Amino acid sequence: MGTADSVEKKDETQKKKEEKAKTLENAGLARASTEVVQRYGDANSQHFGAHEALKNISERKVNPDYEYQNLKQQAGYSAEIKETARENADRIIAGDETRVVRTDDIGRVNDPLYDHVEIDSKGNIIDGSGSQMKFVGKTPEAALDKLASKKFEKYLDADAEIKVPSDHYDGIKAETKAKIESLEEQVKHAKAQGNDDLAKQRQAELEKYKKIDKNLRKSKVSNEDAMEARKSPTMSTAGDIVKVSHEAGLEQAKMGAAIGGGLSIVKNLVAVAKGDKDAETAVVDVAKDTASAAGKSYVIAAGGSALKGAMQNSGEKVIQGLAKTNLPGTIVAVTLETGKTLGKFFKGEIDGVECLTELGEKGTGMVSSALFATIGQIVIPIPVVGGLIGGMLGYALSSACYGHLVQALQEAKLAKEERIRIEQECEEAIRMIRAYRAEMEAAISEYLADHKATFDAAFDEIKTALNLGDIDGFIAGANKITKKLGGKPQFENFSEFDKFMKGSESFVL
């Protein structure tokens, strides 16, 4: 019996050691994602910032008698905003310090020639950078006819770049090429016939189409994009944020695979050398570890860049400041870690004390690296929810202090007086840790015990509803959790949800 207990205890110790190593690896992956999260988060902030302007356009009135014309015109304004956000997001990702701005946004409202100009890193307008957007015509042929009309001659005279919808660009280019070839033949024929007046007329038309062809640019926005931005600005913005975040995730996944795979190779080579693993098992484990690190890095970078973009556009200066640190990626990494622990608690696999211990080891250990880098830069007002958050913060800070003091004892050969002083500080740190732990244990035990019964009942209702196909039962179960956490359900049943979706009321997250 004693031997079995000893083996079980050894296995448990090894398991905890491996979990701690994984947590440290995740913290490293979060730290490694900082540059990607910052860069793609800055890109996402362009889309978050554009949302309010798009929303304002979507609320403009439409005359039922001229619905298509009104929507088409308003979609053109939305396209200008989308173009600005997408272009600047791409430049940020590429490391280009120049930016595109709408002339309306720099005091040149209804500029007669340009919708956009470019500015350098100091905010100075770059000469010759003006461009005009033209989302006209239902087809590429109709669009070219309008671009060649007398109404649009001023843009050609100014030699302005003309951006057209991405879905019309190739068609307009093909039509322009065909028109140029036709006019060249007509000029030759007129000259051959000795009709100089007709030749000059066709030559003038030819030069006009050549200039159109030269100045034509492909917008980053399609006709469909523009109309979606006009009708559904939130969905349009969300789509761009998801796209940028996905790109961030893919880029960081490569780095994560390199980090996780490298660590795994070293770890498994040692295991093979010691005879703890055979080569075949080691190869499989390296592949698993590499894939796992790549997946986690994807989630951290994708989620972190979206969170960073939102934080950067917050009205609170403190939140904007925090967006400049590695906190967004760390928050996502902590969520991945602590989510596993809470899941085990609610499944009954661990008790409240074990839950508390894991949260302390995983959550506070990972967040500390972000907070210690941030506290020196920004004064953080932390709202206290009961005694839980304050206790956890105190425990994390005291543990970090204690760790540094212990390291000083181990590594330095100190004078007797200095050693005595540090030992006294260690004792005080230990006392503080115990006090914070007791405070935290009491708070978390009360909090988790109070919520567990409600969550268990709610999950049972949801499971039963899913088995029966009972939508109202599913909503009722989910609403129990919402109410327990202090929220107010937006729908009590499917009928209310269906009515809301068919209505004009905005959905608030």
504 three-class SS: coil
Per residue in 291-302, is it b (16+ CB within 10 Å) or e — as a string? ebbbebbbbbbb
Residue type present at position 509: L
SS3 content of the chain, % helix, strand, coil (to 5): 75, 5, 20
210: burial class by Cβ within 10 Å (0-12, 13-18, 19+)?
middle
Torsion angle defined by CA atoms of residues 232, 236, 238 and 241, in that order, rounded to the nearest 10 degrees: -160
Strands, sheet with 131-133, edge to edge from the N-terminal-most edge strand: 99-102, 116-119, 131-133, 161-164, 216-218
Tokens linked to 325: 């640190």
pLDDT for the residue 317: 76
Residue type present at position 95: G
CA distance 165 to 172: 10
CA distance 84 to 104: 12
Contact 311, 320 (CB under 8 A): yes
pLDDT for the residue 375: 36
pLDDT for the residue 367: 46
- Check: pTM over 0.75? Answer yes or no: no
Strands, E, within 27-177: which ranges?
99-102, 116-119, 131-133, 161-164
Across the strands, what pairs with 57? Answer: none
297 three-class SS: helix
Mean pLDDT, the chain cut into blocks of 10 residues (509 residues total): 56 66 67 87 95 95 94 96 97 96 93 95 94 95 95 93 97 97 96 94 96 97 96 94 92 86 80 85 87 85 87 78 69 65 68 56 47 36 36 43 47 53 62 61 61 70 72 76 69 72 56
- Angle among Cα 76, 82, 85 to the nearest 5 degrees reads 150
Across the strands, what pairs with 133? Answer: 163
- Angle among Cα 169, 173, 174 to the nearest 5 degrees reads 120
- Other beta carbons within 10 angstroms of residue 435's beta carbon come to 14
Residue 151's Cα: distance from chain center in Å?
42
DSSP-derived secondary structure for 184-251: HHHHHHHHHTT-HHHHHHHHHHHHHHHHHHHHEEE-S--HHHHHHHHH-HHHHHHHHHHHHHHHHHHH
Tokens linked to 348: 């009954």
Instruction: Please state, in angstroms and as integers, the Cα–Cα distance from residue 269 to each residue in 26, 112, 261, 502, following that order.
Output: 21, 69, 12, 60
Count of H-run helices and E-run strands, the chain = 18, 5
Upper half-sphere CA count for residue 277 (Cβ side, 13 Å): 15
Contact 361, 334 (CB under 8 A): no
